[in-house]
A and B are shown apart, each in its own frame.
Chain A
Amino acid sequence: GQQVMQIPQYQHVQEGEDFTTYCNSSTTLSNIQWYKQRPGGHPVFLIQLVKSGEVKKQKRLTFQFGEAKKNSSLHITATQTTDVGTYFCAGRYSNYQLIWGAGTKLIIKP
């Protein structure tokens, strides 16, 4: 069935280092969304990418959608403690259902 693979599962960084998470689908996506879930919280929508090759930025966050619309990435520059949480991608194939990646947990080393 349709599946979205997300790696890595965890990423430990020093504060100020960069962070990247990757998502990959075996089939073409209609669009992809990114969410952030803080510890103990619920997923919060960050952004949606629709177009092939699209790149969007939100302050220190850069989101990319691949040319084939099968992969996507989220890059955070100069991480801060407020960035801690789990980042999920969620791909849409049909007109309503999102298929979620397993998430990448961003951990800031003390």
Chain B
Amino acid sequence: GAGVSQSPRYKVAKRGQDVALRCDPISGHVSLFWYQQALGQGPEFLTYFQNEAQLDKSGLPSDRFFAERPEGSVSTLKIQRTQQEDSAVYLCASGNNEQFFGPGTRLTVL
């Protein structure tokens, strides 16, 4: 595709519900990043993949957050037992130097 795509664009979840956010990176990009962006803040690093290998997950806030990229292309960020503090925009970026961002998924936990 022409750019990074993410789905869904918006997700409303009840507290305690599990959610899965999808990222389709630009074809051929080895590196994939997930970020969390709160309103009025810069992106906060969550995790990094190089192909299918998750090389850094130091930014994941808790063990309720899990990410995978099994075939080295599409990636999924899963949040289990969502809490209100998980409400944010989740951005995916791919790129081997500069980062190309998707439109983000705005997650609202009620």
Contact = CB atoms under 8 A, between A and B. Distances in A.
Interface of A: 6, 33, 41-45, 48, 88, 90, 96-103
A101 B43 CA distance: 8
Interface string B48-61: 10100001100000
Interface stretch (B63-71, B73-81, B97-105): B97-105
B101 A42 contact: yes
Contacts of A99: 45
Given A6-B42, A97-B48, A100-B43, 20 more contacts: A41-B103, A42-B101, A42-B104, A43-B43, A43-B91, A43-B99, A44-B101, A45-B98, A45-B100, A88-B42, A96-B31, A96-B55, A98-B45, A99-B45, A100-B42, A100-B44, A100-B45, A101-B42, A102-B41, A103-B41
Interface residues of B, number: 20
A62 B46 CA distance: 31
Nearest to B103: A42
18 contacts: A6-B42, A42-B104, A43-B91, A43-B93, A43-B99, A44-B101, A45-B100, A48-B97, A88-B42, A96-B50, A96-B55, A97-B45, A98-B45, A100-B42, A100-B45, A102-B41, A102-B42, A103-B42
